[in-house]
Amino acid sequence: MPPRTRPSASTEPVSKSPVDLHPACVIDGTAQLTGTYLIRVGANTIIHPKARLNSSNGPITIGESCIISERCMLQAADTNGLVVGDAVSIECNAVVEGREVKEGTDVEVGNCKLCPMTEVAEQEVVPDYTVMYGYSERRIDASGSEGARRKFLDKHIEALKALIVSNPAKFKA
């Protein structure tokens, strides 16, 4: 039997989306950028393997110093597009279909923090500094720890740059 192509090679995006990748971003070759609208990625942003960005319904803009983890799904809901601000970290298995994720947000499995498995309803606006936890309960974080968080994120990005092999050429049309 002839050797079969590896699944990663055979699952080429159905429709490659137009991309605008900043030269200083790190994007793994196995990330999936699909759709018809523009996907823009800022400097120092890390996109893990198998992260999925779908711009079929609208453009996606990702700011600087973001971390987009594996198996998360970013999809623009309509033609207004999806804007992810600077220093946002989106963890594994997260699904983001909103319009705007502001600066300094953590989405774990949204200055907001969405803990694992919490859900934000459609059309909902989550105010700044909200923490969502448990069964989608929420509170306002007044600890003022953005500085420490940003430091951590910068160091995290620094380390990931050394670990993840960037392959932006694969996404250029």
Partner 1 sequence: MPAKQAKGEYIETDTGNKVSRKSIIVGSQNIILGGKTIIQAECTVRGDLRRTIPSSSSSSSNSANVAIAIGRYCFLSRSSILRPPCKILKGQFSYYPMKIGDHVFVGEGSVVEAAAVGNRVTIGKNCVIGKFSIIKDCVRIEDGTVIAPNTVIPTFSLVRGRPGLVVEELAETAPEKLDLKQLYRMI
Q: Can you give the binding site for partner 1, defined by CB under 8 A?
A: 1, 4, 7-8, 30, 49-50, 70-71, 91-93, 108-109, 115-117, 133-135, 152, 155-156, 158-159, 162-164
Closest CB to partner 1 among residues 39, 157: 157
Question: How far apart are CB 64 and partner 1 at their closest, in Å?
Answer: 18
Question: How far apart are CB 119 and partner 1 at their closest, in Å?
Answer: 12
Rg (CA), the chain: 16
Which of 135, 141, 68, 164 shows the shortest CA–CA distance to 107?
Answer: 68
Closest CB to partner 1 among residues 129, 133: 133
Question: How far apart are CB 168 and partner 1 at their closest, in Å?
Answer: 18
Those residues whose C-beta lies under 8 Å from the C-beta of residue 69, and which sit 6 or more positions away, are 48, 51, 89, 90, 91, 92, 94
Question: How far apart are CB 161 and partner 1 at their closest, in Å?
Answer: 10
Taking the C-alpha atoms of residue 90 and residue 151, their distance in angstroms, rounded to an integer, is 17
Please name the residue ranges forming H helices in the chain: 7-10, 146-163
Closest CB to partner 1 among residues 24, 164: 164
Here the tokens at position 86 are 């600077």
